[in-house]
Amino acid sequence: MAPRANKYGEGREALLAATVEVVAEHGLRGLTLRAVAERAGVTNTLISHHFGTKDNLLDEAVAWATARAIRLSDLSETETIDKDFASALVELVSSEPQLQVFQYEFVLESRRRPDLREKAVALYEGYIRALELALVKQGHHNTRHLARAIFAALDGLVIQQLTVAYPESVRDAIECVGQLLEANLTRSHQPS
């Protein structure tokens, strides 16, 4: 079997990208070393060499997909949830939908498999922490619950873009979330 070019690179990263694509396409129950090997154009032994087990492969794929999505969306670096952020997030979902679908598949499977719950919690906590950093930079206080609420809104909008909504309406809704945040910041800094 000849190796095929992979848009994510070679070696471990290509295997992680192939894992994300397999899960996004077939669900977590469709994840096999054979399916990943076929997608990546390698042999099962190469996957075993790099990751040992399917569980290790999945663990690293979750970490890779989350880090990639956070980095590509500039979530922790964002200054405001504005038109530029909204456009970048919508573009990320449009250009690499498998990143988000993979993560949703993983989180949903954690309902059926309690052994995955801690990792699913860690996945979401990574996003919430990134948003907390952004909110602190913007001057918000008591950001823990606010970050969770904002993440829930953005997460819901991403799943809508993946399933039932047009990117333009999702972009407009993300901008609306930013406007609500701005209004909250203005109100919290007014003298009582």
Tens-digit pLDDT profile for residues 51-85? 999 999 999 999 999 888 878 777 666 778 889 99
Taking the model in full, what pTM does it have? Answer: 0.84
Q: How confident is the model at residue 156 (pLDDT cuts 50, 70, 90)?
A: very high
Query: Is 13 within the bounds of a domain?
Result: no
Query: Is 44 within the bounds of a domain?
Result: no
- Which pLDDT score, from 0 to 100, does residue 67 have? 85
User: What total number of domains does the chain contain?
Assistant: 1
Token pair 């504005």 is found at 82
pLDDT for residue 24 is more than 90: yes
pLDDT for residue 3 is more than 50: no
Query: Is 145 within the bounds of a domain?
Result: yes
pLDDT for residue 192 is more than 80: no
Query: Is 127 within the bounds of a domain?
Result: yes
Cα angle 131, 132, 138; round to 5: 90
Domain that residue 181 falls in: 63-186
Query: Is 54 within the bounds of a domain?
Result: no
Query: Is 48 within the bounds of a domain?
Result: no
Please provide the average confidence, as pLDDT, over all residues in the chain: 89
Distances (CA, A) of 60 to 1, 57, 66: 25, 5, 10
**Residue, of 115 and 9, whose pLDDT is higher:** 115
- Which pLDDT score, from 0 to 100, does residue 70 have? 79
Are the CB atoms for 178 and 80 separated by under 8 Å?
yes
